[in-house]
Amino acid sequence: MYQKRVQSALSARAPSATAEVDEAMWALFLAIGDYWMLTDDVTGYRGRLQAFMANRISLDVGYLGYYALAAQVVEELQADVVAPAAAYARLFTARPSGGEEDSDLATVKAKVVDEFITWRLALGGFRDFGALNYRGYFGGANLSDEPVPYRTRNAD
């Protein structure tokens, strides 16, 4: 049927990223905020990033490889430049084109960086661009005695 999640004898032993890869992904996630000057409070984000990665791996175990590859690509970029921020910038602004679609950089960009961008915005990064709510953000319920969880017509 439709279900992409594979259940097997190994399911109980859910695979997860190594500690080194996990650390590198957290650094990458933070770098997204630094590069785009996002001012959201990252407290609590690390656990949510780990849950996000675990969910991706649960649907496609290939994500274990994508995250490991991302850690490797970041390390290689950092070896090329003086400042770590410049390495991340090169990754964030990469536009793989003809003949490069299958490169490590392109794969990491599509499977890791672009997905982390979406997740970072959904966790709260969107606020810097003027809104109160956003696709993927848990804005909260519409309750009579509490603030409306989005900008309303007549609000300042």
Q: Does 140 bind other proteins (CB under 8 A)?
A: yes
Instruction: Give residues with Cβ within 8 angstroms of 68, minimum separation 6.
Output: 17, 18, 21
**Amino acid of residue 79:** A
- Token pair listed for 29: 């996630």
For other proteins, the binding residue among 16, 58, 72, 78 (CB under 8 A) is 58
Q: Does 147 bind other proteins (CB under 8 A)?
A: no
Residue whose CB is less far from other proteins, 37 or 79: 37
Hey, what's the torsion of the CAs at 15, 32, 44, 124, to 10 degrees?
-120
Taken in order 129, 135, 140, 143, the sign of the CA dihedral is positive
Distance CA 31, CA 140 (A): 28
Q: Which stretch binds other proteins (CB under 8 A): 8-16, 68-76, 97-105, 112-120?
A: 112-120
Residue whose CB is less far from other proteins, 54 or 68: 54
Q: Does 137 bind other proteins (CB under 8 A)?
A: yes
- Nearest one of 35, 9, 26 to 112, comparing CA atoms: 26
Q: Does 142 bind other proteins (CB under 8 A)?
A: yes
Q: Does 153 bind other proteins (CB under 8 A)?
A: yes
Residue whose CB is less far from other proteins, 69 or 122: 122
Minimum CB separation of residue 22 from other proteins in Å reads: 18
Minimum CB separation of residue 130 from other proteins in Å reads: 4
Residue 124: left if φ>0, alpha if ψ -120 to 50, beta else—which one? left
**Which residues of this protein are in contact with other proteins, per CB under 8 A?**
1-5, 32, 36-37, 51-52, 55-56, 58-59, 92-95, 113-115, 117-119, 121-122, 126, 129-144, 148-155
